[in-house]
Amino acid sequence: MAVMVGKGAMTNSIEELAGTDLLLVVGSNTTEAHPVISLRMKRAVKNGAKLIVIDPRKIELTKWATRHLQINIGTDIPLFNAFAHVMIKEGLYDREYVEHRTEGFDELAKHVEFYTPEYAAEICGVPAEDIIATAREYAAASGKAAICYTLGITEHSCGSHNVQSVANLGMLGGNFGKPNAGVNPLRGQNNVQGASDSGALPTDLPGYQKVERPGVREKFEKAWGADLPKRRGITKITAMDQMLRGKVKGVYIMGENTVISDPNTNHAQAALEATDFIVVQDIFMTDTAKLADVVLPAASFAESDGTFANSERRVQRVRPAIKPVGESRTDVDILLDLMKRFGVVQNLNSSSDVWDEMRQLAPIFTGITYDRLDSEGGIQWPCPTEDHPGTQFLHEDEMDSGMPGYFAPVDHIPPAEPTDSEYPLILTTGRRRSTYHTGTQTGRATGFELLVPSELAEINPFDAEQMELVDGQKVTVSSRRGSVEVPIKITDRSPHGTIFMSFAFPELTQTNRLTSDAYDFITETPEFKACAIRIDTIEASPPPTD
């Protein structure tokens, strides 16, 4: 989305969702992955808004939906192109907005001419009437229609094109830069926004200032009193490939269970094992830490001082309530110490000092101070000056990029690994409400074993009957990369031909041994949402050895 309008972040605020006229939720299992955001969606429905859910699974949110478009996995682009087709053909798009705020409309119009609702219906597996009705309703709610999406859009090999097709619709509806509207990626982890905001990206210095843009590097070189590398760096995905080829020899991993959370566990593990030296800084002996040469014990959030930035760009204070356990130290302390040993000269002693240095260098945070966060509560970036209230929604008078919004004509790209006779089912992965990510934290909360006792492979009743499976039966799920044992759960949440699993129980079921390492060629986000698998009953045939 950044290439089209400026920044990849929620354009609007969570609270605003309650006041929309129409909500289009695509690839987001909101009641389970972002339960508190789903409250605002349910409130919107109660206030009379239409809620259209686009998801291959019959997720819980569909109970509140006015329409559920149960699309085939990985067919978002034809669907969104068909919405655009209807809006343009019927003259329902926001003409004035498109004329004043965007560029590339003619190319888009020509591009989507081909994507008739009937054509899209065939690919997506939803009725053409529903596509037409959705497009008309979205257009009718122009200026007060919000789109929310999550990893169901981005975790595909065509993830960035998916996002662009969604953003196209947002611009056609005139929904950027208005309250209760926008295009809103809901961020998955507590500080995933902050991690990117702070410049922990191979292409960006703090505050999304591009490494390779003239003047940027010089500014940081002056402030830091050191030379900066000129070329952009490599992403995690590329780094793992380079580890296997012997080009990357050392890695420092802070607070991430890479082996369990990354696709194709066997590949990730082999990559790390191929390096000469691994440092892991974490709060637990994770499967990734076990591979390390040095393990540094970090303090948890309850022992740390600093900030998290949430999904709506709100910077909020995190405060220590207790001392770090044992000899553990906060991530900030450890890194300040380490940098000294590397000869970095800096006058920083606390999180507050670090924040102040960052805000001086990154205009989007300049007006946010710890004093303000303490007295006013969280503040939403961009916040350029100390008397600026923060930004509730982006792109108000112009796109945040300072340029027009560019329409991006994109085409359907099917998932990288189609099903075949050997691997006839699709595996899609995601989260459940009462477990989180790799289970390092929820796995240690008492009582949670009663909510979801173990990993479950959710399968459609029709498929279960065909394969003569009963609820709770343990099966072997295999892909071309590996196999796991898991009990099945028969539920019509899963569509025909599709299995759903999370990855929160790595001790028994390492789901990411199955997932594919295909990834989006722009963002290098892995395709967690689709890979081909097969199911074998354990008694009938022994699991294939890998």
Contact pick of 116, 328, 498, 511 for another protein (by CB under 8 A): 328
| Alpha carbon distance 343, 367 (integer Å) | 31
Residue whose tokens read 């065509």: 158
User: Of 201-230, which residues contact another protein (CB under 8 A)?
Assistant: 201-203, 205-206, 211, 220, 224, 226-229
Query: Binding-site residue total for another protein (CB under 8 A)?
Result: 143
Tell whether residue 295 is a contact of another protein (CB under 8 A). Answer: yes
Per CB under 8 A, does 148 bind another protein?
no
Q: Which amino acid is at 280?
A: V
Task: Among 90, 114, 127, 189, indicate the residue that binds another protein (CB under 8 A).
Answer: 189
The residue among 89 and 433 lying less far from another protein, judged by its C-beta, is: 433
> Which one of 68-76, 128-136, 255-263, 470-478 is the stretch in contact with another protein (CB under 8 A)?
255-263
Q: Of 103-111, 140-148, 197-205, 417-425, which segment contacts another protein by CB under 8 A?
A: 197-205
Kindly state the smallest distance separating residue 224's Cβ from another protein, in Å. Answer: 6
Q: How far is the CB of 366 from another protein (least distance, A)?
A: 14
- Which position among 67, 89, 136, 317 is part of the footprint of another protein (CB under 8 A)? 317
The Cβ of residue 127 has, within 10 Å, a number of other Cβ atoms equal to 13
Is residue 525 within the footprint of another protein (CB under 8 A)?
yes
Q: Which of residues 13-72 bind another protein (CB under 8 A)?
A: 14-15, 33-37, 39, 42-43, 46, 64
Site track for another protein across 434-473, x = CB under 8 A:
x-x---xxx-xxxxx-xx----------------------
Distance CA 507, CA 528 (A): 20
> How many other CB atoms sit within 10 Å of the CB of residue 62?
18
Tokens representing 364? 């989007």
505 lies in the site for another protein, by CB under 8 A: no
3-state SS track over 163-189: HHHHHHHHHHCCCCCCCCCCEEECCCC
Options 24, 52, 146, 186; binder of another protein; rule CB under 8 A: 186
Of the candidate spans 120-128, 141-149, 175-183, 277-285, the one that interacts with another protein by CB under 8 A turns out to be 277-285
Q: Are 425 and 463 in contact (CB under 8 A)?
A: yes
Minimum CB–partner distance for residue 111 and another protein (Å): 28
First vs last Cα of the chain: how many Å apart?
39
Separation of alpha carbons 194 and 388, rounded Å: 20
Q: Which of 5, 79, 163, 332 binds another protein (CB under 8 A)?
A: 332
Between 202 and 384, whose beta carbon lies closer to another protein?
Answer: 202
Q: In this chain, which stretch among 102-110, 176-184, 241-249, 410-418 interacts with another protein, using CB under 8 A?
A: 241-249
Q: Residue 410 to residues 43, 95, 112, 164, 300: CA-CA distances in angstroms?
A: 34, 21, 9, 7, 43
Strand, helix or coil for residue 210: strand
* Candidate ranges 73-81, 273-281, 411-419, 475-483; the one touching another protein (CB under 8 A): 273-281
d(CA 407, CA 426): 32
102 versus 209: smaller Cβ distance to another protein: 209
Burial pattern 94-118, b for ≥16 Cβ within 10 A else e, equals beebbeebbebbeebbebbeebbbe
- Cβ closest to another protein, residue 95 vs residue 319: 319
Of 102 and 304, CB closest to another protein: 304
Report, in Å, the least distance between residue 91 CB and another protein. Answer: 37
Q: Which of 309, 410, 477, 486 binds another protein (CB under 8 A)?
A: 309
Q: Dihedral, CA atoms, 532, 533, 534, 537, nearest 10 degrees? A: -160
- Residues 346 to 405: which contact another protein by CB under 8 A? 351, 354-355, 357-358, 377-378
Closer CB to another protein, residue 118 or residue 273? Answer: 273
d(CA 221, CA 216): 9
Tell me the C-alpha distance between 51 and 61, whole Å.
Answer: 9
Tell me which residue of 142, 166, 10 sits closest to 84, measured CA to CA: 166
The set of long-range contacts for 338-346, using a CB threshold of 8 Å and a minimum separation of 24, is 344/226, 345/225, 346/224
